[in-house]
Amino acid sequence: MIVALSGGIGGAKLALGLSQVLPPSDLLIVANTGDDFEHLGLTICPDIDTLSYTLAGLDNPVLGWGRHDESWGFMDTLGALGGPDWFRLGDRDLAVHVLRTHRLRGRETLSSITDDVRQRMGIGPRILPMSDDPVRTRILGDAGWIDFQDWFVRQRAAPVVRAVEFAGAAAARPQPEVLAALRAGPRAVAICPSNPFISIEPILAVPGMRDAILASGAPVIAVSPIIAGQAVKGPTAKMFAELGTPPSAAAVAARYGDLLTGYVMEEGDDATGIAPRVFRAATLMRTLDDKVALARAVLAAADALR
Amino acid sequence: MIVALSGGIGGAKLALGLSQVLPPSDLLIVANTGDDFEHLGLTICPDIDTLSYTLAGLDNPVLGWGRHDESWGFMDTLGALGGPDWFRLGDRDLAVHVLRTHRLRGRETLSSITDDVRQRMGIGPRILPMSDDPVRTRILGDAGWIDFQDWFVRQRAAPVVRAVEFAGAAAARPQPEVLAALRAGPRAVAICPSNPFISIEPILAVPGMRDAILASGAPVIAVSPIIAGQAVKGPTAKMFAELGTPPSAAAVAARYGDLLTGYVMEEGDDATGIAPRVFRAATLMRTLDDKVALARAVLAAADALR
């Protein structure tokens, strides 16, 4: 079993690669839920949905979020009615949010709903939230603490980030099947090339999760989301700079600290001071072949460390 | 002021006619909310929405419900995810339901939300619910009591109707602006050609509503929804037969009893035994001209009775 920790778009690319080279039963994807939020009375789980859409082949490579077969009648009408239109909800995407919210209100767990949606979409590997309890990432900007999606989408990640917190994390319980998979001694734990601050650290902030990873005895391999000092997509580099560290592959490895036993990074990037064993690979995933090749590199790194 | 009591499609046709011949400030449409229901966590108000769409020119004359400019991405996806698809929610229609539900949860009244949506849609006359408190029509069939929309939509009105009840009506308060309009001495109260059992009687079941109509001193004019023993649309005739009375214009008038001072019915239909003064008109509303002509006939009847 490979246990892969993932945020949205970058992580989902590697998760898709892993899904192409592993039998479905040998891959468990643990999704960040720190950027989940309540909007218009709906519970929206962006990373779970990006993972599901990507693994189902429904993702929208042009937008970088949502579905490729989307329509916007709901959003157009909502705007005309004076409703909030800063967070774009496609008509088809909305079906997931409405159904999930309704089932959560009926006391079904997010894990159970996510697993059902995953199966309905014809996705083989399991995708599970890091916790069934709500964890909500918050950003401290110059105007105080704001909700993550307010910062990320409504304010287009513009406010300078002074700190990040994960509200609810202290009381959250790790998803039981994730814990069980870690206890069973996985082949590896893969940390996908996601933003460490807002995609991976919320997962690690769930009490018991970091310890369970360490106790698993498995190689823990992270893939750098930073190439040549820049993020492929999203605010990772900006957040490093604003939080006081020049963005680099090494800076990402340093944030994960003693959790890592291996680190996959781009050929040519500076590995000075990186503690875990470094493996070089092509980490920019444009095509499906790129994703598959990177997935194979992660597995090879893990097996080299066993 | 004309106060018009209305259900969905048939009533909305006369309401549209009235809106064409009266200044907006002289028409108050009171919508039945007995067939409102909670579905997928959303509060859906079919009669309010049919009235709004009809008066905004957005109605769908082919389906007889919903909007003419509709798309179905949400519904298609919901079905693929195993969600309930017996109640069809269009993508644009859904914007009203999501926004309304969110605002109701924030403690705004249904009246306030309905009035805002009405203005956003560019509708002149006010549309208000009969009450801001929930009233839910239920149907007694051979298998026991079921919710109205379960009977009407999911079971296509097939189960034989043994009785009708309005859950919550006893505790519901009449909408205050409706009461105020009745107290101010309106030119007439018009009972639109809607199903008496499930569209008009829920309105009259709100404590104080019937008394306020009687106390208003205004002519109360109903328009028959039955022509030549048949309903133009919907289960009105079926319900009369199953509840023990052959369907006829006279049977409708008898249900309203001493509330009526005037009754508008089709030329040629039998008026034997009808207590209020009978006015003859063309009551089948196919075109906008038909609706306007019937609206004028109702106003003429009212003025003849003053």
In angstroms, the separation between the Cα of residue A61 and the nearest Cα of chain B is 19
DSSP one-letter string for chain A: -EEEEE-SHHHHHHHHHHHHHS-GGGEEEEE--TT-EEETTEEE-HHHHHHHHHHTT-B-TTTSSSBTT---HHHHHHHHTT---SS---HHHHHHHHHHHHHHHTT--HHHHHHHHHHHTT--SEEEESBSS--EEEEEETTEEEEHHIIIIITTT-SPP-EEEEETGGGPPBPHHHHHHHHT--SEEEE-SS-IIIIIHHHHTSTTHHHHHHHT---EEEE-SEETTEESSSSHHHHHHHTTS---HHHHHHHHGGG-SEEEEETTS--TT--SEEEEE-----SHHHHHHHHHHHHHHHHHH-
Query: Of the candidates B78, B91, B105, which has its C-beta nearest A74's C-beta?
Result: B91
Contacts of A81 in chain B (CB under 8 A): 95-96, 99, 117, 120-121
Q: Do A95 and B101 touch (CB under 8 A)?
A: no
Q: Which two tokens stand for residue A287?
A: 């095509």
Contacts of A77 in chain B (CB under 8 A): 91-92, 94-96
Query: pLDDT of B183-227, one tens digit each?
Result: 999 999 999 999 999 999 999 999 999 999 999 999 999 999 999
Q: Which residue of B has its CA nearest to A41?
A: B102
B96 touches chain A (CB under 8 A): yes
In three-state secondary structure terms, B91 is helix
In angstroms, the separation between the Cα of residue B199 and the nearest Cα of chain A is 27
Strand order in the sheet with B163-167: B144-147, B136-141, B163-167
- Residue A232, pLDDT score: 86
- Tens of each residue's pLDDT in chain A, 306 residues: 999 999 999 999 999 999 999 999 999 999 999 999 999 999 999 999 999 999 999 999 888 889 999 999 999 999 999 999 999 999 999 999 999 999 999 999 999 999 999 999 999 999 999 999 999 999 999 999 999 999 999 999 999 999 999 999 999 999 999 999 999 999 999 999 999 999 999 999 999 999 999 999 999 999 999 999 999 889 999 999 999 999 999 999 999 999 999 999 999 999 999 999 999 999 999 999 999 999 999 999 999 998
In three-state secondary structure terms, B173 is coil
B56 touches chain A (CB under 8 A): no
Contacts of A42 in chain B (CB under 8 A): 98
Residues B185 and B217 sit within 8 Å (Cβ to Cβ)? yes
Selected for mutation to probe chain A from B53, B74, B101, B119 (highest A CB count within 10 Å) is: B74
Query: pLDDT of B6-54, one tens digit each?
Result: 999 999 999 999 999 999 999 999 999 999 999 999 999 999 999 999 9
Selected for mutation to probe chain A from B81, B96, B120 (highest A CB count within 10 Å) is: B81
Q: Which residue of A has its CA nearest to B58?
A: A77
Residues B35 and B44 sit within 8 Å (Cβ to Cβ)? no
Q: Which residue of B has its CA nearest to A104?
A: B41
Backbone angles phi, psi at B29, to 5 degrees: -100, 125
Domains for chain B: give ranges and CATH numbers: 2-35+126-305 (3.40.50.10680)
